[in-house]
Amino acid sequence: MPNDMTIEDTVQELDFTELDPFDVAPLRLTVDLQALTDNWRDLSARSGRARAGAVVKADAYGLGIEDCGTALYHAGARDFFVAVASEGATLRPYAPEARIFVLSGIWPGQESLFFDHDLVPVLASEEQLAFWMSVLSERGPYPCALQVDTGFNRLGLSVDEAIALAQDVSRPASFSPVLILSHLHSGDTATAESNQAQLSTFGEVSRAFEGVEASLSASAGIFLGQDYHFDLTRPGIALYGGEAMNALANPLRPVATAEARIVQIRDAKAGETVSYGGTHQLSRDSRLAVAAVGYADGYLRNLSGSGIALRETVPLGAFGFVAGERVPVVGRVTMDLTIFDVTDIPARDIQAGDYIELFGQNMPLDEVARAAGTIGYELLTGLGLRYERRYIDPEI
């Protein structure tokens, strides 16, 4: 404000025309559905003869199951995977002719949820299998899928249990699995010997279920080659622009861009400290941008520039991007606010009200995640409720 202007003068000059909430939101998230569908088509092509499904669990990795599901369905995806039945029920109106697989299976009391929304349970234990058989005895034939553990030691029938089931001539005719699936525990590491071992084991199981489609590969497995593709692949994080493979440049487009508004730009003297605990001491006179984002919004405390144990092993905290430059987080990330050092940006190029990119087009998701000692999955799925969202529709 010029020195000769009063606050009253400034108020009179303001334009109170109603603005788009996205343009003034403290936090905003842009979801590029064109990039999402381009990524799906890329992964579909990499899947070769196999169909590419789409994993949309955890609200499409935090980006919105309704909008992402719709875009993927119109792009051609016809096999979707969710974690729990309620996610499948939410997705169903947006993917009307798709098969929707529920990875956590089915439990007593959920039958109507599955049948009313045409969901396919993925059975992963003897207990679920026994319950499902009892359901079929009353209802009659209904599709299911079987998950087999080939070395992950997470969910799934054992290999012996699965093969015994395949060879059981007494199993009811109403029991008709439409998919056998397993999961690679080190698929993101192309040189891992366990990949070949799991592939061999899963091949044995899939041959036992002759005529039933098989699926082994999530995002990472798609990059391991056609031997891993079987009939159906299950891309997840790669759809949303995250890294699928270690030691491989990410060929996919970023989908989500998160930004925080600068609430204040303040001057601070050399020797002063920044944020809780005073863990960052300024070595020069500085300009600090205080942005409206914190760990309540999924911008993790481990992204702090100092004052956390992680900085002893991962020296650098996070960076943001503003006015064409990368700017570091200084001090601790707090619940609602994070402080960035913008000293090296000319004062004329930045002001309160501007937005700092947290991750997205200029700050790669997984680079930011590594600064927090974590993975892109956690940043996406941890997005808080305060982001104003804008979806860029794909071209028809």
User: What distance in Å separates the CA atoms of residue 274 and residue 304, rounded to the nearest whole number?
Assistant: 11
Confirm whether 269 is a catalytic residue. no
99 pairs with which residues across the strands? 79
Helix (H) or strand (E) holding 207: helix 193-208
Residues 221 and 55 sit within 8 Å (Cβ to Cβ): no
User: What distance in Å separates the CA atoms of residue 53 and residue 218, rounded to the nearest whole number?
Assistant: 9
Helix (H) or strand (E) holding 358: strand 355-359
Residue holding tokens 């996919």?
252
User: What distance in Å separates the CA atoms of residue 323 and residue 121, rounded to the nearest whole number?
Assistant: 49
User: What distance in Å separates the CA atoms of residue 382 and residue 251, rounded to the nearest whole number?
Assistant: 24
Confirm whether 73 is a catalytic residue. no
**Closest Cα to residue 48, out of 223, 250, 280?**
223
User: What distance in Å separates the CA atoms of residue 246 and residue 234, rounded to the nearest whole number?
Assistant: 18
Give the distance, in angstroms, between the CA of residue 336 and the centroid of all CA atoms in the same chain. Answer: 22
Catalytic one of 57, 73, 295, 387: 57
Going by DSSP bridges, is the β-strand pair 256-268/286-291 parallel, antiparallel, or unpaired?
A: antiparallel
Q: Which two tokens stand for residue 304?
A: 């702090």
Catalytic one of 61, 94, 240, 276: 276
Residues 366 and 254 sit within 8 Å (Cβ to Cβ): no
User: What distance in Å separates the CA atoms of residue 337 and residue 335, rounded to the nearest whole number?
Assistant: 6
Helix (H) or strand (E) holding 268: strand 256-268
> What amino acid positions are annotated as catalytic residues?
57, 276
